[in-house]
Structure 1
Amino acid sequence: MASEHLEQKLALLPDLPGSYQMKDKNGKIIYVGKAKNLKNRVRSYFKSEHDGKTAELVRNIADFDFIVTSSEKESLLLEITLIQKYQPYYNIRLKRGTGYPYIKITNERDPKMELVSEVKKDGGQYFGPYPNVYAAQETLHFIQKNYPLRRCNGYQGRPCLYANMGQCLGACYREVPVAEYQEQIKQIQSFLAGNTIAANKLLHQRMQEASDRLEFERAADIRDQLKFIAETVEKQKIISKDGTPRDIFNFYFDKGWLSVQIFFVRQARLLKREKRLFTIVGTPEEELTTFILQFYNRKNSVLPKEILVPKGVETETISSVLNVPVRVPQRGEKRALLDLASKNAKITLDEKFRLMEMNEQKTSGAMQEIADALGLEEINRIEAFDHSHTQGQEIVSAMVVFENGVPNRQKYRKYKIKSVDHADERAETMEVIRRRYSRLLKEGDALPDLVLIDGGEIQLNAAKEVLQDELGLYDLPVAAMVKNDHHRTADLLKSEGEPHTELDPKSQGFFLLQRIQDEVHRFVITFHRNLRSKSSLGSKLDQIAGIGPKTRQKLLTKYGSLTKIQNAPDEELKAMGISTRVIQALKISLAAMGDQKQ
């Protein structure tokens, strides 16, 4: 039977093709598979009866991951790559040297073509791998007939059978010029890269001729040959045509969270994928630029020959720092890879949100577990607080409300901190607690059953000082959500100097506590990001003569961006009480700002 964690992830699997990777309790990949439909295939491991080695595999699965591809064939090719890279214990059939074949052009004076099972460092040219072995064999035969190299064992003083048939350049009886080989190899490379128009045209012509002569078996053979060529040399989005080592970055952004996907393409194949999820303050493009620079600043990081990024990322900045070409592909294979990375980023973020929603629904006993840990009889409503700022400036706080373990977003509150103009956790906490609960007392509203502060002793003592000493709320429980080294809630703190109150890391109460921390952090970060964006726009409008605070606020409220203000009709601006002279100055200044940005 699957664990609760696995059950949740199984429910979120997409109905899409891809490769899945089963992991053991240590996070090691123990099996790699492919699927036409990820949801159906992965669920089958846990929803069906198994015996033998499959049953042993299922018993050892503690987690799984997956990568979405554009087709079932791409998932198969990706499966091959990942098996050869990770050598999973339960993948016997596809281990290195016993997998799918490659078409090879040998590195010899008189080169020839052959089908091989693995890539060696022998100077030869390799194409593949090809999932359909029979199709690869038939495609090789077609190439040998139409783009011949050497098919015999070498010089023997007379033409071999293949030379007489026009399927060998004749190394058996003459010295073939190197240029003649190179011309044939160039055509073979083009053909295997997907340029099959001429070959398909020729085969269609032959098939029609055979049909006209009523040679239907011959026509059927040619039809099959066309199918084999399509299966063998069809373009693959998951595999690059050239061998340039490149890293591909793309993202998906929603609700203050940024999901980043990194594809590592080496030897024309996707060898590795990494993913990151975090809340952000700036724009997604700005944050991705910073992330990429930090990503390669890690110990033992290896730079590729090329980096692909989406539009809006500061390519020149990244390129100048890393000394690597950074490009934004517009079309073709590279664009398809970039889009695939974005698709996977969206699926990853959607999965997180849906897991959070599922966890919100599984709150039976969670509130009581927290109450028991803090020595309280019952908890129905929790209010949690967090702060955010930019280098000590633009300080804000936010509050989220959880009722019966479920967030009540209608009761969320945002606060601009007024008492300090620099980072001061104690003063920030005191102000927001004072404003929140003095208002509840004044208006006679119900108090929560528990107040949670994201922080430690400093924040906890500040909250208690206001609640107890200033407002006389001695019976209102308050605790701090203490974080570990990974910035995750580890336990609760009730009073300074007392031991931390620990919850079982696998309990519903612990999961609820982490959801509360995630939600309040997301909410305050989103508020701060929006505020900073408006502040940036406002500061630019303040530079324009004739635009005062009231006019600025009107413009920001109605239009929301400088571009929309610049494109607004003059009559519309006049209706807002702005004079013709100020409108002209506004349009000229905004146009100049746009030119400077370009």
Structure 2
Amino acid sequence: MHSPSYLPTEHYQLPDLPGVYRYYNKEGVLIYVGKAKSLKKRVGSYFSKSTGLNQKTRRMVREIQTIEITIVNSEFDALLLENNLIKKSQPRYNVLLKDDKTYPYLLLTNESFPRIYPTRRVIPSKGTYYGPFASVKAMNNVVDLILSLFTIRTCKLDLAPEKIAASKYKVCLEYHLGNCKGPCEGLQDEKNYLADIEQARNILKGNLGIAKSFFKESMQEAAAALDYETAQRFKEKLDLLEKYQAKSLVINPNAESLDVFAIVSEEKFAFVNYLRIKNGAITLSKTVELKKKLDETDQELLLTAIVRLRDQFQSDAREVLVNVEFEDFPEGLHLTLPKIGDKRKLIELSLKNALYYKKEKALLAGETKDKKNRVLLQLQQDLSLSELPKHIECFDNSNIQGSNPVASMVCFKEGKPAKKEYRHYHIKTVTGPNDFASMEEVVYRRYKRMTQEKIPLPNLVVIDGGKGQLSSAVAALKSLNLYGKIPIIGIAKRLEEIYFPGDNYPIYIDKKSESLRLIQRIRDEAHRFAITFHRNLRSKGALNSQLTGIEGIGENTAQKLLRHFKSFKNIQNASLEQLTVVAGKDKAEKIHSAIHP
């Protein structure tokens, strides 16, 4: 359908009628949808005055190139059309509900012996949908109640009359447990089954009174016929239904269905809670967040939320309770601000939910902001550090049976591994397995280079080891005149004790503390890094020895072969010609004859 189109300078030509207007920018993109009791007056207000408009609105007005309108019968119709257009196009200057969830429904199928089950996909041809439910738990409570009260099948069998007549199915465990009457074998006729479905339908609609009357009458009939066992079963079902209703009852059960909305607003966001009340019970509670785009009033935001939430949750309640005063609202939508009584209590309850949601969002925002610093702040407190340990370095030695003595340094920044900063060290000045001297060497080498290259020093140094290794690291810092400038601690493996330089007694951080877990994680990462390096060196050394053990083959040739063939197995599998390309003819023949005698 083609809609009338106008230029911004032609706004005075718009009709003095209710409708919806749409603003497009120069790229033809829809940027705003609005409703109006009078299109001429409302659209004209954007262009005829500039002083009353806020900065965001003035920015939007500058972008408008084309205006399209749709005339409707009433302001309420305009409200509904505006809602549909915003949902479909999500223009950048319109208020949007921050809620991208798909909600579950309960489907009552239209097949033979209908089933009731939850689904998130709505296919109208499959049957009648009830919901949506804002809470899966609330939906499951309804399903559990229905299955407790009525014998409704839960299987997925196609119970067409001809298939039952052909004896295609056998009863399952549900039949033997008494949860199903066996319609699959023809043990229950469809008329009897549909009587239960009709009562289940009443509960799904929220009409608990009809279901209660059914059980009460059935109980009395069974008692009159002296069938006390059946009467007792109906009484138990009636009690279950009354218990369920009492649990969710908030006002008089004879009260009409109504919707309750409360809004809480701040500078950039607003939070709206929606309570749906049926037969005096809350059947749905939902809180949404709205982001302000053009400094909208609480009334505008609330009206937007009311239309969208009622549409989303398919509400047909005639009365809508709100917590703000409306001087004027569209015909067809009756908004009430109650002052006293049960209805006022409902508004207060809705407001409490909106405030709680706002508080939770604020807490979450604060937690997210401080999350990465929370553990570091705890560590700073536990170790009495003057600065937040944003940059932590940890050293570990790997010296197995005295072979290939090496060390490693790992670096954590903002509590996370900074793997580009990790370093491996071959021990150069120490002969034999001497962990203390090795630690002193690598700490000295690391911080001598950092001071020479003017790289910022860490806020904390962690040494994997007890007092001995810590003393060696301290000696290295002292020789560089850095002791006292970098906080340094040692962590002993046995009891996870934390040692400070000069203290004979360690401190113990709570085993459940996040700060201790961070230190352990850093220490374990340094250990892993050192062990991996040491293992690689040993395997490399073993391979080298296999080749250098061959007469006439030296270290350089062995390294060249390993770089080319990647493994000793590949060298074994290589042909003489392939070995010759890498090592030359003479050496290739020696290697080939040694490997293949």
After TM superposition, the score normalised by the length of structure 1 is 0.37
TM-score, normalising length: structure 2:
0.37
Q: For the pair shown, which has the larger CA radius of gyration, 1 or 2? A: 2
